[in-house]
Amino acid sequence: MKIYRVVPDTNETALSLVFGHDLEDNEVSDFSVGQSQIDWKPFELEWNLKNGRSIDQFTRNDFILIIGVGVNIALNEKAKTIFEPVFKNDAELLPINVKGDSEKYYLLNILNVVDALAIDQCEFRIRHNGEMGAIKKAIFDENKAPDNRIFITPYQTTKAMFKGELLKDICKEHSLTGLEFKEVPCRT
């Protein structure tokens, strides 16, 4: 079964979200990727209207890029309704506020942390002090990744992963827009 990195559409015409100017730094730093947000207080985000263009010049997808936070995927109400039962205990869909927009959006917070990398085959950056740094090239162990479940790894907490075709099939079946599925290298 293939493993995919799940990423929001970064096409120049796709709308993206950024943190509002009045957001305090501690609100973002309190967010812990991979952990349940028990005392969640919705962030306020705003549309990233690049180059002064109006909102009507962008595509409003069902999945939206959030610039500057962990797994950077927001879902609209339609996508939330469809994916809530799929994600079950593997993720939380946390409400967020979008300045000047009445539509409801949700931040995808993935709780399912799986050590699915084939560490012995990955390439790492080396820090100045000689210690192992960030992953330069990730290789996944197909046998460690859960079938048809969304997950992150302890080494790549900002990258949403999915093994199998279920997520792609659901997006296609419901004509959901805004996600790309990039196959990642695996050893079997």
Please report the pLDDT score of residue 135 as a whole number.
Answer: 86
Q: How many other C-beta atoms are found inside a 10 Å radius of the C-beta of residue 103?
A: 9
**Confidence at residue 176, expressed as pLDDT on a 0 to 100 scale:** 96
Please count the residues of the chain.
Answer: 188
If you compute the radius of gyration of the chain from its CA atoms, what whole number of angstroms results? 17
CB 4 within 8 A of CB 184: yes
φ/ψ (deg, to 5) at 96: -130, 155
CA neighbor of 37 nearest in space, from 113, 111, 96 = 111
pLDDT confidence of residue 26:
44
What type of residue sits at position 84?
A: E
Q: How far apart are CA 101 and CA 186, in angstroms?
A: 41
Residue with tokens 């805004």: 178
Three-class SS state of 112? coil
Point out the residues of the chain with pLDDT beneath 50: 25-26, 29
The confidence score (pLDDT) of residue 80 equals: 97
- Point out which residues pair with 45 in neighbouring strands: 19, 98
- pLDDT score at 31: 62
Hey, where are the domains in the chain? Answer: 3-117+135-187
Strand partners for 113? 152
**41-92 pLDDT, tens per residue?**
887 888 888 777 888 888 889 999 988 766 689 999 999 999 999 998 899 9
Query: Which residues contact residue 64 at a Cβ distance below 8 angstroms, ignoring those fewer than 6 apart?
Result: 8, 14, 15, 16, 17, 73, 74, 75, 76, 105, 178
Q: Looking at residue 11, what is its pLDDT?
A: 81
Straight-line distance from the first to the last Cα atom of the chain, in angstroms, rounded to the nearest whole number: 9
